[in-house]
Amino acid sequence: MRPLTTLLVLIGMGVAMAGAGRAQPPVAPAAAKTPAAKAAERVQAANAQSVQDASHGRYLEASFGLLANLGVASASEIKDPDVFDQWAQVMSTMTGMATFNPAKGPDFQVSESQVADLRAATGVAAIPEIVRRARKTRIVILDENHLEPRSRAFGLQVARALRPLGYTVLAAEALHRGADDGEVQAKMDKLSADGYVRQSSGYYLDDPVFADFLRQSLALGYRLVSYEFGGDFVSEAQRDQDQTDNLVRRAVRKYPNAKILIYSGEHHLAKRPIAIEGGQAEWMAQRLKQATGIDPLTIDQGGLTPLPMNRSNADLYGIAVRKAHGRSVVLMRDGKPLTVGLLAGSIDLQVIHPQSATVDGRPGWLAQMGRKPRPIPPSLLPKSGVRLVQAFVAREADDTIPIDQVLVTAGQPAPALMLPPVAVRYVAKDVKAEWLANLAGEKRP
């Protein structure tokens, strides 16, 4: 999912024609916009505003405000699947959980043989298997589901496990793009010196889990590399070629003796074409292998989740999760890795995470990031309405990302903040009363 850009509407303006004393024919008025065109323009403008708000740490405006700007009383009324994903992505930064998108339907088919293989597969512990295979290469590529913060927590687990093997470079697609290598390197050097990312560091980094993944990776000694394409979007093929070129220059050649962990969006780690983009697209991992001669270890954790970004006609996660037994596993069939779904046959390993338990109102996997529950100070609990309570690492700048944040509703049990053993400062922000009234159906913009 890429953030939508603002729809630009050009309105023709009549210009007086030059003439020697002659009356000019009237200029025909611009055709009136249809109700459908106006509605589409409103949706695009609301979505673009949400993207901007989220990029500047305005989480309530980007979620509750988005619904108000759309004129809907609940997210279930959002008909555009990309706009729903935008809302869901922002909400996940405040809850740690993905949200089912009713605007999406199945967009690819899986064969009966794949389903049969999946039923017959076994699961082995993911991290030891990743480590075993990572010893044999210089590049590991791990993907994510952009709508599930849990992906980022597992990314940190992988970064920790690979560090003793000599992996010292972390290239993250989410870091803000740039075409000039020197300018981008200066930004990466600044992040390393600070030890944390900021609101301006990258769009998906507004998620506290993602920001802490990079914060802790920097503390482990990783060098950050930004590799997203630097120009205007032309095509997926050009995007993946630009990603590859940037990785070759900024990581593989710049650090010739280093081992590299690449953290990407789903699909980009495919080493063969997959059943989208006409089934012919060469993705970043395939191009990188061709450009460097290095066969990367590719690990998918986005395809088999409860709420995948691309849905199949079968409940693959419902079958696969039975292999997990409370731990993250990779699928094996007859002693060999099994991959199914959209990325079947194009990746090396496929990770299944167990169903998430809830502890103190929060996802239990947050504890794997070195956090423990801490009650919200009583003075910050709302007496009415809904409040966003944020905790920031005290030593970090004002434009940093919260270490954690939660939504608290007056009169309901307050979830805990999941915090590391560091000093924090708190910020509390109330959801506007008119937004809550809109959600209750009492007011429609």
Q: What is the CATH number of the domain that holds 174?
A: 3.40.50
Residues 180, 247 share a domain = yes
Q: 239 — phi, psi (to 5°)?
A: -60, -50
Q: How confident is the model at residue 27, as a pLDDT?
A: 56
pLDDT at 17: 31
Note the pLDDT of residue 33. 83
**Residue pLDDT, tens place only, 378-410:** 999 999 999 999 999 999 999 999 999 999 999
Q: Which two tokens stand for residue 148?
A: 């599930």
Q: How far apart are CA 319 and CA 121, in angstroms?
A: 10
Q: pLDDT band for position 442 (50/70/90)?
A: low
Of 19-33, 70-84, 188-202, 364-378, the one with minimum mean pLDDT is 19-33
- pLDDT for res 207: 97
Q: How far apart are the first and last CA of the chain?
A: 28
Q: Report residue 277's pLDDT band, with 50, 70 and 90 as the boundaries.
A: low
Classify 368 as helix, strand or coil.
helix
Residue 362, domain member (yes or no)? no
Residues pairing with 122 in the sheet: 332
The position carrying tokens 């619904």 is 67
Q: Is the domain of 343 the same as that of 239?
A: yes
Question: Which pLDDT score is estimated for 104?
Answer: 87
Map tokens 């914060």 to a residue.
Answer: 215
- pTM, two decimal places: 0.91
Residues 283-323: tens digit of each pLDDT: 999 999 999 999 999 999 999 999 888 889 999 999 999 99
Say yes or no: 305 and 423 in one domain.
no
Q: Which pLDDT band holds residue 13 (cuts at 50, 70, 90)?
A: very low
- Give the residue from 140, 143, 85 showing the smallest Cα distance to 343: 143
200: DSSP letter:
G
Give the whole-number percent of the chain exceeding pLDDT 90: 81
Q: Give ∠ CA 443-406-94 in degrees, rounded to 5.
A: 75
DSSP 203-218: SGGGSHHHHHHHHHHH
Percent of the chain beyond pLDDT 70? 91
Mean pLDDT of the chain: 90
The total number of residues shown for the chain amounts to 445
- Secondary structure element (H or E) that encloses residue 243, with its range: helix 236-247
Question: What is residue 116's predicted lDDT score, i.e. its pLDDT?
Answer: 97
Q: Is residue 222 part of a domain?
A: yes
Residues 96-117 have a mean pLDDT of 92
Instruction: Please report the pLDDT score of residue 14 as a whole number.
Output: 30
Token pair 């079958």 is found at: 319
Residue type, 49: Q
Whether 255 and 316 map to the same domain: the answer is yes
173: containing domain:
112-352
Phi/psi for 126 (5° steps) reads -70, -50
Q: For residues 398 and 272, state if they share a domain.
A: no
On whether both 205 and 267 belong to a single domain, the answer is yes
Which has the closest alpha carbon to 380: 356, 351, 416, 347? 416
